[in-house]
Every structure is written in C-alpha cells, then in structure tokens.
Chain A
C-alpha cells in the first residue's frame, strides 16, 4: 500500500520537473528584440526604412513556450501556482552598465568602420563577429588601422555577448545570444554590405 502511495508521487515530481523546464527556455524572440535595439544603437537608424520583423508582440516568446491550449491541464495549473515571477513574459535585460558601455564603444567605432563595410573590405561573420574580407581594397596607409578596428570591435562583441548573458543571470546563454546576434547583425546590415552565409562564403547583401 505504501509502495502504491509512493508511486502516486511520481506524476507529481514529473509535473514539477516539467514546470522547471518551462522556465529555463531561452527567450529567443526577446533576445532578438534586445539584439535589434543594440544594433540600432550601434549602427544608428537605417537610411531607408527601419528593419521590420515584428510579427510577435513585445516580450512574447513563441519559440520558448508551447501555446497554452496544447499543454496538459495539470501543467497549466502548476504554472498558475508558481507564477507570477517565473511565468512572466521573458525579457532580456540590456541595461547593465557593462552592456551600455560596450554598446557606446561600438557605436563610437562605427563611423570609422562604416566605410569598410560599404567597400566590402570588412564583412560580418557567421559567428557574430567582423572580419577583414578584402584587405587589398584598402589603401596601404589604412590597412593597419582597419585590422586594429576589427580586432577591437571583436573584443567588444565577444564581451557584449558574455555581459548580456551574465546580466541576465544565465552565463550559459552566451552562445545562444551570439547565435541570435549573428542572425540580427546580418538582418540589420545595409544593402551592399558583405556577410558570411552558413557555409562560410561571403555574400553581398
């Protein structure tokens, strides 16, 4: 009889475990929006129309959570018990001093990097960094400074992805955040700039 009672606890543990799983989802859409805000700060508004990809309302994470109606009733009940903090719409905080400072540093550098994005000398890599694509198109006197700009930009970008993950108390999200940025930098890039496709090949946008 005791054994049967213990057996009865199993579904409850499973439900609790399921509940925890919901809360560690990476908030992909929120991360995209955060990335877009940072990219807009760094690159400024696009000369034409701003980039649009806003089907989902702010903070809603359709990738992170299945639609409510499709989930078991018990889990939805537990959701309401454990709320409100955990079931709030996921957000990515980009207001930490480190993130602000890194963003400002990259924004300041952008005016110097911009001509090289436009000439194709520098391109956006698939790992959310920048790289010298065609040094031969850069005048000799500027080659050293282009390489230093790229190196400094990459140091800032690597620190940015790490600091966003840390500021959101999820250092393990760094690679996910980098992945989101890799896609958003390219999406926000101006026409004519170069980026690396999934195969690592340079493509002109």
Chain B
C-alpha cells in the first residue's frame, strides 16, 4: 500500500473514534444558518455535556443589519447550565466574540430561555468597551426583540471605533461619553430606536486638525421608528460647553451654547437624510429654521433657510468673516441684525434674500453707518427677482464725510445692475452714478462697468480730512466708463480737479490690485493755469506770484507711493500775472534742490528786500527707481536754473545736483535741509 493511502485510512479511523466518544458524553446540534431580526447567523453549533451540564454555543459568523462588519467566532461557555422542564438557565456564562471595530472581547453573561413563553433573555452586565463597562440586555420572543445598551463614562476612542469610516484617522483626546440606547424590532429587522448620548469634556479631532473639539459638553437624543420603508424620527443636540473648530469656523460653545432640533426622514436604503422642521438656536449668534437634504456621496443636495436671524456683528465674525480671505473685506460694526432666507436645490443655490438693519461696515479706508438693505437674488433669468434696495445713513471715505444715499438694483445670475441713478454725497459734492453693471461675480474675474460723474466737491474740507495742507478749489470730473475686470479698474474718461484757480486733469487712470498690499495706479496728469500765489500760500512755501502749468507723464504709483513718472512744471512763456518771489520761497526752492540756503539771503545785504522779480521758473523730475533726474528752465553754469531772476536785484536759484534720491527729495520738501547751499547770485 502506498504511504499516502495509509495516512488517509488512519485519519478516517481516528475521526470515527472521536465521533463515537462524543456520542457517548455529549449532545450536539448543528443548526447551520438562521435569521433573527434582520441579523443572519451562520454556523451555529450547540453542545451539551450530559454529565456536567456544560453548555457551549459556537457561532462562526453573525451578519448585522446595515453596513456593519460581521461579528465572528462567537463562543458562549456555560459551565453549569440548569435545565428545568420550562426553562434553561445559565447564570454564569462567559461570552467571547470578535468584532472588527472593537477587537476580541470577552465578558460575563447570563441567559434564560423559557419554553412556556418562548422567550430568551440575555444580559451582559459589563461588556468591556472604551475602558468601562457597557451593560447590554437583550430580549427575544414571539413579539419581537429588543436590545438596550447602557454605559457611563466610556472613553471616546471606543465610540470613534464604532463610528467607522466617517471618522477614519480621527484621534480622541480626553473626556467621556455615556450612552443609553435601545433598539427593537421583529424578524424583519429594526423597527424602533431611541436613546441619548451624553458628552462630558469630550476632546478629539481629525488628524489634520481641521476638525476638532475640546472639552465639549452636551447631550444628543433621538427617537425614530421604521418598518414600512422610510424611517421617521426626531433628534435634538444641545452642546453647552467647550469649543469646536471646523475649518475655518471656531465656536466657543460655553459662550454661545448651540441647540439643534429636527425631524428626520431616512429612506429604507439608508443613503440619504431629510431634515424637516430643522431648528437652530445659538443665543447671541443665530436662530432660525429650515430644511436640509443630505445624500451619501453627494453631500448637501437641497436646503431651505426659512429664515435665519443673525445677530451682528458676532454672527458675521464667527460664521462669515473666517471664509473671507484676502484684502478688502470690512468688519461689521454696530449692533444690527440680518435675516437670511435662501433656497438651495439640486446642488446649486437658487435664491437668496437678505435683510440687514442697523448695520455698520468698517473697512480699511471707509466706513458706512446705519446700513439697511433688502437684497433679493435669483440664480436664473427665469425667476424674476424683486428689486433690491440698499440705504446708508452716512459714513466716510479716507476720512472724508459721505452722506446718506439710497440705491436700487436688480440682482440675478452672476451679476446685477442699478435700477435708478445713484447719488452718493461726498463732502459738499457727490458721486453721481448713472449706470452700474456687474457681471461674472461668481467667477474668478468679476467685472463692473460704471458711468458716473463727480459733481464739484470743495477741496478745503477734503484736504483737511486727508491730513494735507488745506487748500481751496473743487474736484469734479466725468467717469464715462469705469471698468473693473481681472483685478484692474480703468477709467476711460478724464477726472478734472479745479484747484488753485486752475485745472488739473487726470487721464488714462488704471488701478490694479486695489485690495492687495501694493495697489498699482498708472495715469497721466496735466495742470493748466494754476495760481502760484494760492498754491505757495496753501503749502506754506513762502509766496510766489505767477502762473504754473505742467504735465506728469508715465505716472506709476505702487502702494500709493510714486515708482516712476516724468514731471515738468513751469511758468508759461506769456504769463500775464506779474512774477514775484519772496525770500522765503527762494529759500524753500533752494532746499528742494538739495541745498541749504536758509538764511543766506536774510543775513546779507539783500535782506532789505521782501520779494524779487523773476523771469521764469520751472522744475522737472524724471523718477526711476529711487533716483529723481532733475532739470530746470534752462542750463546754467555747472547746473540748471530753477528760478531765473529778472530786474535788480537779480536772484537766480541754480540747481547743481541733477540726480537726487527721491526719498531725500521728499524729506527736503518736508522742510529738512541738507547738503551744500545753492549758488545765490
């Protein structure tokens, strides 16, 4: 006989002996497969020792309802089962099982099966879960089944393990969780559930730290019933201690306790949740109601806000400001409130209705007070939105007072337009907007087109508000088309400034990146008929009579600081105004040229004269980098004339330095004198 066949024969004999032996001492049943209350049990084997009364139940696998992983290798050892005619009792059983979320567990158990009622009661007084004991009581009978689990002071790590994939990678910190949950049903599955979870100082969060809780205290309760298809229920969450961060929002629950209450509907497929009569209350921040539908794999697919009342400014600071990154966004000041209604369907926002009352906005350079608004927006052109209205009681722009104004507009899709001309009072004038159209607001390149004009604004109060020397004149202009696109605003018209009895024109103005750290402004400037006496008096520059005209080309400001320009200012050839220049003005002009003539005239013979006649004056600067290339009205020996004298006594101001550091030049203009004195002839 071949050795292989011999081994097979031996094995068959040994198996035979074992079977005979067990047939003598134990009673064994192999049930195979059974379904209990939605769960399916595979491979059940019972054996009962006829001599010692030891009962052993082995279950290979228990498939749970839903997506839960199966329970494996269940073994119940009952060393001394008591078999009575009407019942089987096992008071000191030992249960062990493996379940992926918690690993292998072993616990004491007690079970009673009653023949007369056909009921089975199993109790696990202390199932080791989360560093504490969970008391589980299960009842099974002809009327159905019920499982209740209660545990106090469980470690949150165990709860995270039970929650599965949704919180994969999350870490639990301190705190405890107490649970009291009941599930009941019949052979078809779970029919009812109710319970509550109490959180005490719960800490933990996602591995990235973008979702986190610290010391959270609260209570979550629910009650739901199912059966014929959908599940219906109510749930309430009340969080009243600790802090939570859900990027980028931080909420201090101790300061602003949050209560959420909702009715919910879950279809039999368990792949979506519809929240109806959703109610949010967070004193001092928000209160309101709405509905929400969430679908597995799609997130929030529909929501209605009907309505939400926001307490400002706290609600803005907590729930809106963290989302607004980059420059240009204002802070909300003053106690006001906002009422929001919104509809979100099929994954897109359909409409928004926002009412603001008594709100103040505080931007870096502007402030608006008493803002009331009723904004109505619709996604498509088919739904006609109501006219939106915005009224402001007043404010300021760079410190210049702005008066009350009222705007009416139509907002829809990704743009909007003004319904009526808008007049924004600025100081004693106004910005009158005839047309304003916004488009592409939802994309990366919002665009605005504006037709507006500035009605005369007195420069006196404006210059004072800006902290400049106060001077007269008015600012007015046409902004036939102002376009804003790709972060750049450009003016297609001419801005006119009537100042110093003359006219200054600003053209081809283009402002890029207005809300960035270094906004860039380019343009051209021309000046005509400026009265030098008014100008020099305003800037406390001594006194010069005459007319000034000039031009600045290639002007480029970066961060409101000049980066490049070519400027040339001079008296016109046939100036009808007499040309006189005071001693003080000569000294000031000399300082600008990088010299220190201060006192040179007043100390000498010429000190008897207050003022001198001059033929012409002019000063030019071509700025490149930090270097200003200076020029005057004409060449002089070793330099250029800034002031060319006339009559007797003749005083010339000659600049000898043609390359001046711009920062030095500005310092000198501000009155600091440095370097060698100019030649005074």
Contacts and interface: CB of A to CB of B under 8 A. Distances in A.
Interface stretch (B52-60, B188-196, B208-216, B376-384): B208-216
Contact of A102 (B208, B212, B518, B561): B518
A155 B326 contact: yes
Nearest to B214: A140
A89 interface: no
Contact of A143 (B245, B252, B516, B557): B245
Contact of A148 (B325, B517, B561): B325
Interface in A94-109: 95-98, 100-102, 105
B249 interface: yes
B625 A135 contact: no
B558 A144 contact: no
Interface string A51-65: 000000000000000
Interface residues of A, number: 26
Contact of A151 (B247, B252, B325, B557): B325
A75 interface: no
Contacts of B366: none
B249 A144 contact: yes
A163 B518 contact: yes
A51 to B, nearest CB: 26
A136 interface: yes
Given A102-B517, A148-B325, A97 B558 contact: yes
B243 interface: yes
Given A143-B245, A144-B250, A159 B516 contact: yes
Given A135-B208, A143-B245, A98 B559 contact: yes
Interface in A134-162: 134-136, 138, 140-141, 143-144, 147-148, 151-152, 155-156, 159
B517 A96 contact: no
B518 A159 contact: yes
A156 B561 CA distance: 18
A79 interface: no
Among A101, A102, A163, chain B packs the most CB atoms within 10 A around the CB of A101
Given A98-B558, A159-B518, A135 B250 contact: no
Contact of A141 (B207, B243, B517, B520): B243
Interface string B512-544: 000011101000000000000000000000000
A105 B364 CA distance: 14
Contacts of B322: 144, 148
Contacts of A155: 326, 516-517
A155 B249 CA distance: 21
Interface in B237-252: 243-245, 247-250, 252
A93 interface: yes
A55 B557 CA distance: 38
A151 B558 CA distance: 22
B342 interface: no
A138 B209 contact: yes
A195 to B, nearest CB: 20
A152 B329 CA distance: 13
A120 B214 CA distance: 21
A167 B563 CA distance: 10
A93 B209 CA distance: 41
Nearest to B245: A140
Contact of A98 (B205, B208, B563): B563
Interface string B242-271: 011101111010000000000000000000
B245 A101 contact: no
Given A97-B518, A102-B518, A147 B243 contact: no
Contacts of A93: 625
Contacts of B212: 136, 140, 143
A32 B378 CA distance: 54
Contacts of B563: 96-98
B307 interface: no
Given A135-B209, A135-B210, A147 B248 contact: yes
Contacts of A100: 559, 561
B252 A141 contact: yes
Contact of B248 (A102, A144, A156): A144
A98 B558 CA distance: 6
A100 B518 CA distance: 9
A165 B247 CA distance: 35
Contacts of B520: 98
A101 B559 contact: yes
Contacts of B562: 97
Contacts of A95: 625-626
Nearest to B562: A97
Contacts of B247: 143-144, 147
Given A140-B214, A141-B243, A101 B561 contact: yes
Nearest to A106: B517
26 contacts: A95-B625, A96-B558, A97-B557, A97-B561, A97-B563, A98-B518, A98-B520, A98-B559, A98-B563, A100-B559, A100-B561, A101-B517, A101-B518, A101-B558, A135-B208, A136-B205, A136-B212, A140-B214, A140-B243, A140-B244, A143-B247, A144-B245, A147-B248, A152-B326, A159-B517, A167-B625
5 closest A-B pairs (Cβ-Cβ)? A135-B209, A101-B559, A97-B561, A136-B209, A97-B558
Given A140-B245, A151-B325, 16 more contacts: A95-B626, A97-B518, A97-B563, A98-B518, A98-B520, A98-B558, A100-B561, A101-B518, A102-B518, A141-B245, A141-B252, A143-B209, A143-B212, A144-B250, A148-B248, A155-B516
